[in-house]
Amino acid sequence: MAVTDYLRERFFPHMWCPGCGHGTVLNSLLRAIEELGLNKNNIVMTSGIGCSARISGYVDFHSLHTIHGRALAFATGVKLSKPGLKLLVPMGDGDALAIGGNHFIHAARRNIDITAIIMNNRIYGMTGGQFSPLSGPGKKATTAPYLTIDREFDIVELAKAAGATFVARSTTYHAKESIEFLKKAIDHKGFSVVEILSQCPTHYGRKNKEGDAPQMLENYRNNTAKIGSKALADDPSLIARGIFVDVERPEYCQEYDQIIERAMKE
Amino acid sequence: MTKQIMFLQGNEACVEGALYAGVEFFAGYPITPSTEIAEQLSGRLPERGGKFIQMEDEIASMCAIIGASLTGKKVMTATSGPGFSLKQEAIGYACMAEIPCVIANVQRGGPSTGNPTHVSQGDINQARWGTHGDHNIIALTASNHQDVFSITVDAFNMAETYRTPVILLLDEAVGHLREKLILPEKGELPIVDRLRTSVPKGVDYHPYLPREDGRLPMSDFGGDHRYNVTGLFHDMWGFPSNNPKVVNELLRHLVDKIDNNIRAITRYKEHYMEGAEYILLSYGSSARSAIHLAQNRRAKGEKIGVLELQSIWPFPSELVREKCAGAKAVLVVEMNMGQVMAQVKMAVDEPGKIFLANRIDGKLITPSDIKQLLRVIQGRGV
C-alpha cells in the first residue's frame, strides 16, 4: 500500500505551520506501519490536545482525539477492553509530561502494550509559545520573558525509571532512523516510548534564535549522536540517540487474561 | 423457581444492577463512600470475562471507560464528591462525543474533602452543570435497594439509548445501608443493547448522522468502519469543524436528544398521594424519612403524601407542576441547601407554597426533622 492510503486526504491541508517537524514524524510513522504491513482496522490512534494531537485526525485508522493529557488513559481503556488492537499515542510536551505526566509513568509501570510517540519540540506550540517541561533552563518563551529557570525532564530516563520496556530517541532529521525505531516500538509487546525531537521554528526556533526549520534540522544533526558512538564518547554534551531499553516483561493485558482464567476457575 | 433474595449494601445493589444490565468494563479509583462498587466489580467482572482496572486517578478512570465504550462494551465508573469533580472534563467529552457510559456518584458531604463518611445530597447541581459549556445530562437516583438495582439497569439502558453519560446520584446512607434485594430474573427487566450500524463494509459510515428517530448507531473500534472521535465540535464524520451551522446544529442536537425525551426518561414514585394536601417532594435516602412520616401521619388521618423523584435531570418540571398543583404546601426534603427546591420553585405556579426541609450536618434527615417544619407550616406551632 502507498503511504497516502493511510491518510484521510479529504481532511487536508493539515494545520501545522510551514517547517514544523510533526509532518515528518507522521511520515515516519506511516512508513513504519506500511513496512510492518498492519491492517488499518486493527489500529487505534489516541491523542490529546495540541499540535501533535492533530495527527489522529489525518490518519485513516480508528482515531480518538481526546482531552489534554489524557490520551494514554483513554488508550488504556481501549487496549484493555480489546487487546487485539494496536494502540498508537502521539503526544506533545504537555500531553506526555506536564498535564499527562501521571498517566505516562503509570502506563509505563503497567507495561500495557501501547506505543507512545513523544514529539518533543520543547514548547507549547498551539497556544503560541509558552515553555514546557521539556524546554529546559535559559530558554525564551512567551511565559518566560526573562528566560526559563525550570529544569527539563529527560524523557528517556523518566521512561526507563517508570518501567517502560522499550525506549528510543531520534529526531526529525533522522527520519529513516525514526522509521526503524517506530517499527520496533510498534512490534514490541509492552509499553514502548519513542521520543522524536521535532522542530518548532515558529515559536521555539524564532524566540531562541535557533534559526529556521533547515537550521534547526542541522542542529539535530550536529547536536546528537548515536549511543555507543565515538562522537558521543568524545562529547558527552551531545544528545544521545538510539534504543536505550528493549526488554521483555509481563504485559498488562496478558496478565489480566490470567486473572480472568483464575476467576473463572474459582 | 424461587427468587434469589440477598441482604446487602446499596453499593452492592448497584453492582448487581450493573451486572444485570450487562456491564463489561469498570475503571475506578478508591474513594469513600463508593469504594465497595469497585471492590465488588474487581471480583465479579473477571468471573464473566469482563475487565476491571484500578487506574492512577479519577480522571484516568473516566477516560478509560470512555475508551472501552468505543470498543462496544458497556462501561461504568464509581466515585464520590472530590472524584466527581475531577471527572467533569471527561464527562463533558463523553457528552460531546456521545459515548454511552454510567458514572455512579455516591454522594458525601462537600465542598472539598468535606465529610467523607457521612451523607449528603449536595451534588445535584454539579451533576447537571459540573462540566463546562452548554450540554445535557441524565441523572437518576433511588431510595431503597430494589430501586437502586432497577435504576442502575435504567442508567445503562438510557446511556445506550441516548448515547450519553448517565449519572447515578446515590448517597452515602443508601450506599452503606444494608437491606433486602430480591434479584429480578433474567428477562424481568428490559435491557437495551448497543445499537450498531447496519452500514456494510466499504460504504461510507457517518458516525454522527442521526437516524430519523434521533438515534446514532455506533460502530465498534476495531470494526470495519474507521472514523474520528473528538471533543471538538464536529461534522457527521466526526471531523473537527467550527462552521457556525455545524456548531449550532450539534449543540442543539446534544440538548434536544434528552429534552425531547423527558417523558421517557422521567422516573418517579408516588406514596400516599391520593388527595394529599401537603406533599413531601424528595429523593434518595431523604425520601425514606419522608415516606416514614407520611405513613405515620396518614394513619392519624392527615392528608400527607410523598412525590419521590428517581430522575433528577432532566428535571421533570411538568410532572412536578401537575402533581403539586392542588397542594396547600410542598416541602422539598433534601440534604443540601435547596438544590432541588430551586427547580421545584421554577416548575410550579405558586412558588410561595414551596418550603425547604433540609439537613446539612452529615446526619440523615429524620421524620421528626420534617415534622417540625410541617407543623409550623400547618400553623400548629413548633
Give the CA distances from residue A40 to residues A45, A63, B300, in Å, rounded to whole numbers and listed in that order.
10, 11, 72
For residue B1, name the pLDDT band (cuts at 50, 70, 90).
low
Does residue B300 form part of some domain?
Answer: yes
Instruction: Assess contact for A227 and A241: CB atoms under 8 A.
Output: yes
For residue B107, is pLDDT > 90?
A: yes
- Three-state secondary structure of A161-207: HHCCCEEEEEECCCHHHHHHHHHHHHHCCCCEEEEEECCCHHHHHHH
Q: How far apart (Å, rounded) are the C-alpha atoms in residues B14 and B181? A: 11
Report the number of secondary-structure helices (H) and strands (E) in chain B: 13, 16
Q: Which of B265, B294, B313 is the last residue of a domain?
A: B265
Is there a single domain that holds both residue B221 and residue B359? no
Say what the pLDDT of residue A152 is: 97
Q: How far apart (Å, rounded) are the C-alpha atoms in residues A55 and A126? A: 13
Does residue B290 form part of some domain?
Answer: yes
> pLDDT per residue over A233-256, tens digit each?
999 999 999 999 999 999 999 999
Question: How large is the average pLDDT for residues B262-280?
Answer: 98
Q: For the packed helices B284-299 and B367-377, what is the interaxial angle rounded to 10 degrees?
A: 60
β-strand partners of B116: none
Which residue in the block uniquely carries the three cell numbers 516510548?
A193
Instruction: Assess contact for A79 and A123: CB atoms under 8 A.
Output: no
Question: How large is the average pLDDT for residues A68-91?
Answer: 98
Say what the pLDDT of residue B347 is: 98
Inter-chain CB proximity B25 and A77 less than 8 Å: yes
β-strand partners of B269: B308
What sign does the CA torsion over B40, B42, B44, B45 have?
A: positive
For residue A1, name the pLDDT band (cuts at 50, 70, 90).
confident
Output the pTM of the full model. Answer: 0.98
Is there a single domain that holds both residue B193 and residue B288? no
State chain B's mean pLDDT as an integer. 97
Count of domains in chain B? 2
**B275: amino acid identity, one letter:** G
Does residue B355 form part of some domain?
Answer: yes
Question: How large is the average pLDDT for residues B194-216?
Answer: 93
**B98: amino acid identity, one letter:** E
Which residue of chain B comes nearest to A55, CA vs CA? B228
Which residue in the block uniquely carries the three cell numbers 427547580?
B343
Say what the pLDDT of residue A178 is: 98
Task: Write down all domains in chain A, each with its CATH number in brackets.
Answer: 3-265 (3.40.50.970)
Inter-chain CB proximity A63 and B226 less than 8 Å: yes
Does residue B382 form part of some domain?
Answer: no
Is there a single domain that holds both residue B253 and residue B279? no
Is there a single domain that holds both residue B315 and residue B357? yes
Say what the pLDDT of residue A83 is: 98
Q: How far apart (Å, rounded) are the C-alpha atoms in residues A63 and A66? A: 9
Question: How large is the average pLDDT for residues B354-358?
Answer: 98
Say what the pLDDT of residue A181 is: 98
Percent of chain A beyond pLDDT 70? 100
Contacts of residue A70 in chain B, CB cutoff 8 Å? 59-60, 63, 90
Is there a single domain that holds both residue B213 and residue B288? no
Which of A74, A111, A259 would you mutate first to test chain B, the one with the most B CBs within 10 A? Answer: A74
Q: How far apart (Å, rounded) are the C-alpha atoms in residues A248 and A139? A: 38
Q: Which of B245, B265, B285 is the last residue of a domain?
A: B265
DSSP class of A242:
E
Instruction: Assess contact for B227 and B219: CB atoms under 8 A.
Output: yes
H or E element that contains B348: none
Residues 6+ apart with CB under 8 A from B18: B26, B41, B76, B102, B152, B156
For residue B270, name the pLDDT band (cuts at 50, 70, 90).
very high
Say what the pLDDT of residue A80 is: 98
- Report strand pairing: A62-65 vs A43-47: parallel
Taking the Cβ of residue B94 and every Cβ of chain A, the question of whether any pair is shorter than 8 Å is answered with: no
Is there a single domain that holds both residue B149 and residue B242? yes
CATH number at residue B63: 3.40.50.970
Report the number of secondary-structure helices (H) and strands (E) in chain A: 11, 8
β-strand partners of A116: A89, A193
Q: How far apart (Å, rounded) are the C-alpha atoms in residues A122 and A138? A: 12
Say what the pLDDT of residue A226 is: 98
For residue A21, name the pLDDT band (cuts at 50, 70, 90).
very high
**Pure H helices in A111-154:** none
- Report strand pairing: A239-246 vs A166-171: antiparallel
Say what the pLDDT of residue B382 is: 63
B379 CB-contact burial (10 Å; exposed 0-12 / middle 13-18 / buried 19+): exposed
Q: How far apart (Å, rounded) are the C-alpha atoms in residues A220 and B73? A: 45
CATH number at residue B283: 3.40.50.920
β-strand partners of A239: A224
Q: Which of B238, B265, B292 is the last residue of a domain?
A: B265
Inter-chain CB proximity B230 and A75 less than 8 Å: no
Q: How far apart (Å, rounded) are the C-alpha atoms in residues B305 and B308? A: 10
Cα of A249 vs its chain's centroid, Å: 21
Interface size A-B, in CB pairs within 8 Å, comes to 131
Three cell numbers, residue B196: 450498531
Inter-chain CB proximity B70 and A78 less than 8 Å: yes
Question: How large is the average pLDDT for residues B13-39?
Answer: 98
DSSP class of B193:
P
DSSP-derived 3-state class of residue A26 = helix
Is there a single domain that holds both residue B180 and residue B315? no
> pLDDT per residue over A36-66, tens digit each?
999 999 999 999 999 999 999 999 999 999 9
Q: A-side interface with B, Cβ within 8 Å?
A: 8, 11, 40-42, 44, 46, 56-57, 60-67, 70, 73-82, 84-85, 102-103, 106, 256, 259-260, 262-264, 266
B2 CB-contact burial (10 Å; exposed 0-12 / middle 13-18 / buried 19+): exposed
Is there a single domain that holds both residue B256 and residue B322? no
Inter-chain CB proximity A63 and B223 less than 8 Å: no
Shortest CA distance to B219 belongs to which of B69, B92, B93?
A: B69
Q: How far apart (Å, rounded) are the C-alpha atoms in residues B57 and A104? A: 12
Inter-chain CB proximity B63 and A77 less than 8 Å: yes
Greatest CA span in chain B, whole angstroms? 75
State chain A's mean pLDDT as an integer. 97
DSSP-derived 3-state class of residue B298 = helix
Contacts of residue A263 in chain B, CB cutoff 8 Å? 43, 46-47
Inter-chain CB proximity A74 and B27 less than 8 Å: no
At B124, give phi and psi (nearest 5°). -60, -50
For residue B381, is pLDDT > 90?
A: no
A150 CB-contact burial (10 Å; exposed 0-12 / middle 13-18 / buried 19+): middle
Say what the pLDDT of residue B213 is: 84
**Pure H helices in chain B:** 10-21, 35-47, 58-69, 81-97, 124-129, 145-162, 172-176, 244-259, 262-265, 284-299, 317-324, 339-347, 367-377
β-strand partners of B105: B79, B169
Does residue B43 form part of some domain?
Answer: yes
First-last CA distance in chain A: 48
Is there a single domain that holds both residue B77 and residue B45? yes
| Structural domain that includes position B288 | 269-377
First-last CA distance in chain B: 53
Does residue B235 form part of some domain?
Answer: yes
Is there a single domain that holds both residue B258 and residue B335? no
Which of B70, B76, B227, B232 would you mutate first to test chain A, the one with the most A CBs within 10 A? Answer: B70
Q: Chain A closest CA to B374's CA: distance in Å?
A: 49
Is there a single domain that holds both residue B191 and residue B278? no
Inter-chain CB proximity B25 and A80 less than 8 Å: yes
Percent of chain A beyond pLDDT 90? 97
What sign does the CA torsion over A70, A85, B21, B97 have?
A: positive
Range of lowest pLDDT (B1-10, B334-343, B356-365, B366-375): B1-10
Instruction: Assess contact for A242 and A231: CB atoms under 8 A.
Output: no
For residue A209, name the pLDDT band (cuts at 50, 70, 90).
very high
Is there a single domain that holds both residue B121 and residue B204? yes
Q: How far apart (Å, rounded) are the C-alpha atoms in residues B361 and A131? A: 46
Instruction: Assess contact for B127 and B102: CB atoms under 8 A.
Output: no
Does residue B17 form part of some domain?
Answer: yes
At B87, give phi and psi (nearest 5°). -80, -10
Question: How large is the average pLDDT for residues B264-268?
Answer: 98
> pLDDT per residue over A129-167, tens digit each?
999 999 999 999 999 999 999 999 999 999 999 999 999
Contacts of residue A57 in chain B, CB cutoff 8 Å? 228, 230, 239-240
β-strand partners of B230: A65
Q: Chain A closest CA to B46's CA: distance in Å?
A: 5
Contacts of residue A85 in chain B, CB cutoff 8 Å? 71, 221-222
Taking the Cβ of residue B65 and every Cβ of chain A, the question of whether any pair is shorter than 8 Å is answered with: yes
At B230, give phi and psi (nearest 5°). -145, 160
